[in-house]
Structures are given as structure tokens and as C-alpha cells.
Amino acid sequence: MTKSVLGIIGGSGIYELPGLEKAEWVKVESPWGEPSDELRIGEVGGMTVVFLPRHGRGHRLSPSDINYRANIDVLKRAGVTDLISVSACGSLKEELAPGTFVLVEQFIDRTFAREKSFFGAGCVAHVSMAYPVSPKLVDAIEAAARAESIRHRRGGTYLAMEGPQFSSLAESHLYRSWGCDVIGMTNMPEAKLAREAEICYATVAMVTDYDSWHPEHGEVDITMIIRVLKDNAENAQRLVGRIAKDFPREHPACPVGSDTALEYALMTAPDMRDPALAEKLGAVAGRVLNRNDG
């Protein structure tokens, strides 16, 4: 089996995790451009944990300015096998009150200004996104949430919008009519790219507000969001700390094939592949690109 390396994408309240040993900031180069920041790599109980500030230290990058391809590429280069996205979101359901951690199972991608694939002209690949999160990884998150008595719900659909503006009232009602549970700006194309890189992925969506649909809460108030974010930070730290402590040291095979997503995905014949693109794909797709059978 492969040694587990746990990756976390989140904010400063996460990567300053108490108990993280031998931690250092490491710059990892990517052929896909600049990632959001350096990686903070350390150990918890002897297991390597890799943190990436999604918006960069100091929150320098808006959701649309994040280089999602470079972020996933450097995490893959750092050996990450299992990646947990910790991100703020709005609630589209009455019962998902601010402070609830939602363990998302599905996504609807409404973003439009982002590069969404490592593949393209010269090397075409199609991966399945039917089941975008790894069930065993979600099992680990759920067990940690229960152990730490953190209010959570397993399951739900995350609507990814472009931003950086919040939803109009009409949009908020539309997304509720689709049956979506939470709304955010960052988990797409992150989840798609993690799938292409054969990294098991899961989302902890931390509810900060009721978007703009709730008649008793009105429009999104950034000061309210910041206040709830601070309240969520302590729970997020405890959750991540528990996950890292209890996580299997040997990476278990993913039952929905997250870690083998490229097995039959490449469509371009080996002798027709663009060498320059193939070289850029070395980290995320080397397992299949380097096989003799193509």
C-alpha cells in the first residue's frame, strides 16, 4: 500500500495547527504557474501533513484569481494522497445554520472564468465526476467531527459560483429550487482537478451565513461572516487535528476510484501526444503516461 500523506487546503486557522511538528514552509515549483502560496509541511503523529493557504497568506487572492491547477499540481508533487478542502460557505437550507460543518457529497459547477482541466489539445482525457468525493475520506472526517462533538451533517450538494460578489436574491432562490444545500466560490474546479490528479478529495463546508434567501437574515453581511468564521476556526482546528491523529498511515484504496481516475481516461494515442503538454502532466498523470501500453 501507499503511505498516506494528508493534504489540507484552507485558511490561517488551519495551517497553524497546534501539535504540528517539524513544520516548515516549502516552495514547490509548478509548470502550471504560481500556486497560492508555499506549502507548510509538517508531521502529526509521524504522518506527513501538507497545508496550502488557498487564498495565500493574508488572503491576497479572490476565488477567481486562484491558480487551481498549480495548487493541485504542487500538492501532488508533495506526495498528497488524500486532500481535505476546508472552506466557508453559505447555507441554502433552514436546518443548516451558521456554524454547521457540511460534509459535501456532490457539486454543481457554475464557475466560468477558470481553467478547469490539466488536459487539452495534444493530450485529451475524460475523468468521471459522478462521485467526486472519496467515501473513506469522508468517513474519517465524520468520525473526527463526532469525536470532537462538532455540529455537522454528512451529505449535500455544493453550488460553486464564480464570485467574488455574493448571490442576488433571484440566484439564491434558483439554487434552492435545484435542491442545493450550500453555496461557495472555491471548490470548483478544485474537486475536478484533484480527480484528474488521482488525489482522493473531500470537502468540509463551514456554514457562515444563509446566503441572501432567508427572510429573517436578509442579505449577506461580511462582518457577520467574519464573526462566524472566527467561531468556526477553533472547531476547524480541532477537526483537522483529530483527523490527522487518527488517519490511516497507509492509504486505503478508494471505493469510487478517486486514486485511479486516469486508468482508462486518456483518449489521445501515445504517438500523437504533445510532448510539451505531456511533460507538464508529469506529476498529475505520470502513472498512466509513463506506461508502455500508453
Distance CA 294, CA 128 (A): 19
210 is an annotated ligand-binding site residue: yes
Distance CA 130, CA 20 (A): 35
208 is an annotated ligand-binding site residue: no
12 is an annotated ligand-binding site residue: yes
In the DSSP assignment, the letter for residue 63 is G
87 is an annotated ligand-binding site residue: yes
- Catalytic residue, chosen from 37, 209, 246, 293, is 209
E-assigned strands of 45-130? 47-53, 82-91, 101-103, 106-109
- CB contact burial 155-180 (16+ within 10 A = b; e otherwise): ebbbbbbebeebbeeebbeebbeeeb
Say which residue the cell 463551514 belongs to: 206
C-alpha cell at 2: 501507499
267 is an annotated ligand-binding site residue: no
209 is an annotated ligand-binding site residue: yes
129 is an annotated ligand-binding site residue: no
- Per the CB < 8 A criterion, the answer to whether 76 and 29 are in contact is no
88 is an annotated ligand-binding site residue: yes
Is 109 among the catalytic positions?
A: no
Say which residue the cell 488517519 belongs to: 247
Distance CA 262, CA 117 (A): 13
Sort 81 into a burial class: Cβ within 10 Å, 0-12 / 13-18 / 19+.
Answer: buried
Distance CA 23, CA 42 (A): 4
Distance CA 214, CA 246 (A): 38
φ, ψ for residue 284, nearest 5 deg: -80, -30
Distance CA 7, CA 201 (A): 9
- Catalytic residue, chosen from 73, 82, 181, 211, is 211
Is 139 among the catalytic positions?
A: no
Q: What residues form the annotated binding site?
A: 12, 54-55, 87-88, 185-186, 209-211
Q: What residues form the annotated binding site for phosphate?
A: 12, 54-55, 87-88, 186
Catalytically active residues are 209, 211
Q: What residues form the annotated binding site for substrate?
A: 185, 209-211
